[in-house]
Amino acid sequence: MKHCTTQVQTWVFTALLTASALPAQTLTSTNSASNAEALASLERNGKRDASFVHDPSTIVKCGDEYWFFATGPGVSSWRSKNLVQWERGPKVLSAPPPWSTNVVVGHRGYFWAPDVIHHDGRYLLYYSVSKFGENTSAIALASNPTLDPAAPDFRWTDEGIIVQSRKTNDFNAIDPALTKTRDGKLWLSFGSFWSGIKLLPLDPKTGKRLAPESPLHALAYHKNIEAAAIHHHDGYFHLFVNWGICCRGVNSTYEIRVGRSREITGPYLDKDGAELVKDGGSLLLGSDGAFIGPGHAGIFEEGGKVWFSCHFYDGTKRGAATLAIRPLRWDDSGWPVLGQTATERASPQNPKVAK
């Protein structure tokens, strides 16, 4: 849940199970031949980069650039022309909002696990204010008409707290994830440990809570659960959650589980019919060699392709938190299946992290 970020260098893993460096370049068109080759390799083999990225948000697009946000001081941002090569963008908050110290005494502006959605002409970014191991937390909203820092109307506006948890509550208000249903409704899923994953309807006009006491729907429970994401496909809402412990590098035990429901409010069942609110959840993605502790699922669709993003702890880089993007497909029963990443082993050809 906590990691700072550095400059990014990216490489793509080939079908020959060796790692080759992608030449550094700036791609200005998503239709260029070199970019098409990079995306084809990404679709075949998955991607890993030396980025130190933790809790990546869903990927969104602004103009010809892709963006995601992540845990960090002021909320970190990353931008790319091609989904393969990423560079750091500006942080969202130049200073902690005044109300943040009322949530966590002495809070210094290190914000966790953001998520972003483009809705009704604005980019709505939700992020967490908390203290590790406690549920004195809040999810807040910042909005912007654009993600392009060069645009004249680029400006993040603090919209305040959306939902807050205190020691007296049985839930933890962190790890926001946004879902927009086909009828135009907005939903916020969130939660970490305590009583599990919750769902809250939002006002689609403001992006805020409909009412101070609007009901919370219980979606999933496990002793160690957090980082929910909901994606609609073929008549089902698929709920992705993390089980396990993050933030311990190569000793992290994160894994991504999934269940589905005909209704966004549940009940969600796994492949065996077990309810996610009763410890159910089918394994989607776990540790595999140097690919350790994947977490914080995000799903992005474009041009008929679906991409699944998350972070993992890179065993070849002493557990550095790293962005991964894989193609997402669906099996004959309508369950999600991830494209295979070719290899996670080290190679002398891998570019080094820019310190």
Identity of residue 152:
P
Domain count, the chain: 1
> Over 70: is that where the pLDDT of 341 sits?
no
- Is residue 347 one of the residues assigned to a domain? no
- Given a cut of 80, is residue 275 above it in pLDDT? yes
pTM: 0.84
Asked whether residue 166 is domain-assigned, the answer is yes
Amino acid occupying residue 146: T
Could you tell me if residue 222 is inside a domain? yes
Asked if residue 69 is part of any domain, the answer here is: yes
Residue 265 lies in a domain: yes
What's the first-to-final CA gap in the chain, in angstroms?
21
Count of CA atoms in the C-beta half-sphere (13 A) of 38: 26
204-236 pLDDT tens trace: 999 999 998 899 999 999 999 999 999 999 999
In a domain, 345, yes or no: no
Distance (Å, whole) CA 73 – CA 293: 23
The residues annotated as belonging to the active site are 55, 226
- Sheet of 236-243: strand order equals 225-233, 236-243, 255-261, 282-285
Classify residue 4: in a domain, yes or no. Answer: no
Mean pLDDT of 103-115: 94
Whether the Cβ atoms of residue 297 and residue 310 lie closer than 8 Å to each other:
yes
Q: What is the CA radius of gyration of the chain?
A: 19
Residue 66: helix, strand or coil by DSSP?
strand
The residue range of the domain holding 292 is: 10-338
- Cβ contact 189:230 at 8 Å: yes
Lowest mean pLDDT among 194-198, 244-248, 301-305, 349-353: 349-353
Q: What does the block give as tokens for 189?
A: 């899923």
Measured CA to CA, the distance from residue 258 to residue 269 in angstroms comes to: 8
Report the CATH number at residue 263: 2.115.10.20
Query: Is 5 part of any domain?
Result: no
Q: What is the pLDDT of residue 29?
A: 24
| Mean pLDDT in residue range 263-283 | 98
Q: Phi and psi for 138 in degrees, rounded to 5?
A: -150, 150
Over the chain, what is the mean pLDDT?
84
Burial annotation 178-210 (CB, 10 A radius, 16+ → b, else e): bbbeeeeebbbbbbbbbbbbbbbbbebeebbbe
Q: Which two tokens stand for residue 59?
A: 């990927």
Task: Please tell me whether the peptide bond between 267 and the residue prior to it is cis, using omega within 30 degrees of 0.
Answer: yes
Q: pLDDT (tens digit, 9 = 90+) per residue, 7-55?
A: 222 222 211 111 222 222 222 222 233 444 444 554 455 544 435 799 9
What's the chain's length in residues?
355
